[in-house]
Structures are given as structure tokens and as C-alpha cells.
Amino acid sequence: MEELKINSPNREDIGQFINTYKKCANCGAELTEGQKFCPKCGIEIRFSVGDSVAPEINQFRQGVTKKHKTKKKLLIFVATALIIIIAAISAVFVKSRIIGKKIDFSKIYIEYCKEPWASLGTDGSYLSVDTNPYNKDNTIDYPEAYAATKDINKDLGLPDSLYYAFAHTTANDGMQSENYPDKGVTVQWKFHPNRGLEVIYKKYKRWINYNFGGFFNETD
């Protein structure tokens, strides 16, 4: 029997198809409505138009129904997956906004800093303070620069322990660094008796990854 291509698998359409295109299952001769026997081989025709639908047709109808159900389930699955993905992306953006304070170093620079002992990145990504910008040995040219770091720390909401760390860092300690994710700042500093104290305030950067287990992983 030829492959059925019926948009609406109802009994009338199937019957019409059998009436027009039915062939003998034994020899393949074309049959017309009302024939009881094949005109070519003489075999009895087991079903005709208007009779109960043949097992092959029933199987076809069941297959179509199953495909419709499968398609419906697939659509539901895709819609659910899209909702989950959209919710996850939204959560990432919300998390990104909650974590990390927006820092305006240019405002801080105007408020507390002066040249030549302070400098601001052209893109506003960092602010640096150098108590001895000309690197004169055994001297601190600009003690107000050292005092300004205390005001800057306070403005950024950083702990008093940071200012204490500035005062107790030695040349042997090398470059020191502290991250303050909740404040949106990374602070790096070093001290040398002949070069003074150098402090760099940077905007804290982090990657926020969302895994489908429902947890956020933060990495510097």
C-alpha cells in the first residue's frame, strides 16, 4: 500500500484514500470502489470503502496521534527550558548589580587628591597615590599624600585596618594586595624607605558564572 499523506487523519479522508488509490495486496493491481475480487489475480478484497478501517489504517492513525502527543510534549519541554534559561540569565544580571559598588574615582580624585602625588587613569579604572613621586632618597615629599589615603579609604568604605597595613608595610614585604568585592575595589600598595608609599586603587573585577545546579561561582 502506498504511503498515506493525510493532513487530518479522520475516517472519511482515509476512506476516500482507499477508494481512489487502493491496490491489491497480492499482485499490486489497482482497485476501484465496490470491487470484491481483484480483476487481475482474483484474490478476495478483505476491506472496502465504508467498512471498518483496516489494521494498517488504524496503525497509521495511532502513529499520527502519537506524533501529535510527542510534538506537544516537545513544545512543553522547550518552553520550560527557555523559561529556566531566561530566569538564570536574569539572576546573573541581578547578582552582578547587587555585588560590587559602583566607584567614581574621578570624584574621589577631585575631593582628596592633587598633582603631582596623585594620578587618575584616563578611563577612570584606577587611582594612584605616591608619597614620593620623584623618588628622592630618604624623604617623603608629600606627607599630605599619605594622609589622603586615609580619607580615600573612608570614602570607599574600606576598613581602618587597611590604613594600619599601609603604615606597617616594609620594603621586604613587596607588593601587597587586598580585594574588597562588596566595595568594588582592589587595593595594591608597597613601601620603600627611599621611595615612600605607593598605593593603587583599582575597580574590582570578577567573573560570575551560573551553573545549572542553581549556584553562583565568583572568581577574581
**Structural contact between residues 57 and 40, judged by C-beta atoms closer than 8 angstroms:** no
Q: 90-114: per-residue pLDDT in tens?
A: 655 545 444 446 789 999 999 999 9
pLDDT greater than 70 at residue 149: yes
For the residues 167-185, what does the mean pLDDT come to? Answer: 93
Percent of the chain with pLDDT over 90: 38
Average per-residue pLDDT in the chain? 76
Cα–Cα nearest to 145, from 109, 174, 173, 178: 109
Give the model confidence (pLDDT) of 35-62 as tens digits.
778 888 888 776 554 444 455 555 555 6
Helix axes 105-112, 143-156, angle to 10 degrees: 140
Judged against a pLDDT cut of 50, whether residue 80 lies above it is answered with yes
Task: For residue 116, give the C-alpha cell.
Answer: 603631582
User: Which residue's C-alpha cell is 480483476?
Assistant: 39
pTM > 0.75: no
Residue 7 C-alpha from the chain's centroid:
40
Residue 125 burial (CB count, 10 A): 13
Q: What is the pLDDT of residue 28?
A: 79
